[in-house]
Amino acid sequence: MQRTWFSRCAALGGALVLMGLLGLATPSLAQKDEWGAVKGTVVWAEKALPKLTPLDVNTDKEHCLSKGKLFDPFSVVNPKNKGVPYAMVWLTSLDKKDSPLPIHPDLKTPKSSKVVIDQPCCLFDPPVLGIREGQSWVVKNSAPVPHNANIIGGMTGPNLNPLIPPGGMVEIPAKELQARDTPISISCSIHRWMRAYARVFKHPYFTVTDGSGQFEIAKAPAGRYRLVIWHPNVGWVTGEGAEPDRFGRQVTIPAGGVASVGKIDMREPKD
């Protein structure tokens, strides 16, 4: 009996070793899925769509208007579903203290060491972007006319205003880009209608709504967090009180699943 019992244990142990070598999970060794996703759509909540705001193009008209009239990108709303593009969406801790978030192993380091913004036709592209600490920021000028990058980062920086000739670029080092509560603004002193915004984060759980107002943050930690949304023309979009605030709204991300928050209303800011 002892020999039979021993042989069975040995066989089982060998099988477990083999499964481990083959990369097969066993019930006792399998790790619980601790990651999920959150998605939704930012929509214009007023009955009437906002009017597109034409831009006063009074410099380098031949180039700037070569592809048609220019409009403020932040006045754009998708007429098909009232989706709002260019809203920044991110996760933050439930405790309202910006405590560190768990980061998925695939996202421990950024996929790219640089984030790029261009000025191809007298508008910034993209007009809203997120930067993760550790990434540098490249401001390009692919246009045939000179631009400049008037970057205002406030107390923590960066603060600079370099001239960028046609085909040129300037790079802000990663060490000068720190996470903060406020956005970094960028404008062009030559073409004064141009503006864009960047936000810097300590983690990878941020995105910008697409042309239909949709967003998804994948490989996010499961559990309860806060979903924060900000738009350049409106400011804070989400909140749990009478008015939207920087703490956003609570969201529970299921392990191995997707938290769908549906439509999130964005309204005209109150005076």
pLDDT at 241: 84
pLDDT at 271: 64
Examine the domain organization and report whether 25 and 36 are in the same domain. Answer: no
Q: What is the pLDDT of residues 218-247, one digit of tens each?
A: 999 999 999 999 999 999 999 998 899 999
Question: Is 271 among the domain residues?
Answer: no
Q: What is the pLDDT of residues 7-27, one digit of tens each?
A: 444 444 444 344 444 444 333
Portion of the chain with pLDDT greater than 70, in percent? 88
34: tokens are 């601790």
Domain boundaries, position 247: 31-266
Sheet containing strand 195-201, strands side by side: 128-132, 195-201, 184-187, 150-152, 159-160
Count CB-CB contacts under 10 A for residue 72: 17
CB 225 within 8 A of CB 206: no
Q: What is the pLDDT of residues 87-121, one digit of tens each?
A: 999 999 999 999 999 999 999 999 999 999 999 99
Contacts of residue 165, defined as CB under 8 A and 6 or more positions apart, other chains included, come to 141, 146
Examine the domain organization and report whether 173 and 258 are in the same domain. Answer: yes
Nearest-angstrom CA–CA distance, 194 and 243: 29
Buried b or exposed e, range 117-130, using 16+ CB within 10 angstroms: bbbebbbbebbbbb
Question: Is 73 among the domain residues?
Answer: yes
pTM of the entire structure?
0.87
Nearest-angstrom CA–CA distance, 144 and 190: 14
Q: Which residues are bridge partners to 39 per DSSP?
A: 216, 260
Question: Is 79 among the domain residues?
Answer: yes
Domain total in the chain? 2
Examine the domain organization and report whether 38 and 10 are in the same domain. Answer: no
Examine the domain organization and report whether 208 and 224 are in the same domain. Answer: yes
Across 45-54, average pLDDT: 94
Question: Is 227 among the domain residues?
Answer: yes
User: Which backbone phi and psi does 94 adopt, to 5 degrees?
Assistant: -70, -25
Examine the domain organization and report whether 26 and 48 are in the same domain. Answer: no
Examine the domain organization and report whether 123 and 216 are in the same domain. Answer: yes
- Residue 212: CATH number of its domain: 2.60.40.420
- Residue 188 in this model has a pLDDT that exceeds 80: yes
The gap between the terminal CA atoms of the chain, to the nearest Å, is: 86
